[in-house]
Amino acid sequence: MSHTLVLNSDGSPLSLLPLSVVLWQDAIRIIYTGSVTILHEYENWIVRAPSWQTHVPAVLMTTRYIKVSRLVGFSAEMVHLRDGYRCQYCGEQFPSDRLTLDHVKPKSKGGKLTFDNVVSACSPCNCRRGDDESIRPRTIPYRPTYMQLVARRRRMPVTVPHESWIPYIGWEPSLVTVDPPEGEPGLFLAKSEKRASSELVMQLLRTA
């Protein structure tokens, strides 16, 4: 569960893949480094320690512009996002933890684990296909660009913990649900991706 959106100094999210969000504990740590300013806070959420208290921030912005790489690294999550979380054999949509990676040219025949040889498949379809190359996926796999994947992500519903995020994240407002901090940001966001996001943001701020 992540609570605070981190923006670059130009007002766009520091990262869109994954969305640059951090846990409230990290958000408060970042504030004390002086590398961010607070744009929005949770009105009713105050964290108290013996000698201080503070509102938990909902949106932070870096004081200096941070250059972020837009290269897309290969991962199962990025393949599923490219494929719209749809099995490329039966066409059904699944959450990412119910999808597998299928080698279009089978591993046994030298097929590689790369964007241009792998598609999302549900387990039954992956089993049924096995090494049978006559069963073709619905789309030919390709290496997606960063912005293609961002556009894919933005077509999916998203749950955010605070309404102040909406103008910054670039989603159609009709696809955004605002849920209090207990909510899980990103309906399809895998747990591993959330962890990656928090680590990414912390790393970017350290190098700034």
Question: Can you give the binding site for Zn ion, defined by CB under 5 A?
Answer: 87, 89-90, 122, 125
Token pair of 93, please?
């949509």
Q: What minimum distance in Å lies between the beta carbon of 180 and Zn ion?
A: 35
Q: Which is nearer to Zn ion, 90 or 113 (CB)?
A: 90
Residue 94's identity, in one-letter code, is F
Going by C-beta distance under 8 Å and a sequence separation of 6 or more, which residues neighbour residue 84?
93, 152, 155
Q: What minimum distance in Å lies between the beta carbon of 104 and Zn ion?
A: 14
Q: Which is nearer to Zn ion, 81 or 125 (CB)?
A: 125
Q: What minimum distance in Å lies between the beta carbon of 94 and Zn ion?
A: 8
Q: Which is nearer to Zn ion, 90 or 147 (CB)?
A: 90
Q: What minimum distance in Å lies between the beta carbon of 89 and Zn ion?
A: 5
Q: Which is nearer to Zn ion, 100 or 197 (CB)?
A: 100
Q: Which of 86, 81, 167 has its CA nearest to residue 122?
A: 86
Concatenating the DSSP letter of every residue in 40-78 gives: EEEEEEEEEETTEEEEEEEEEEESS-----------HHH
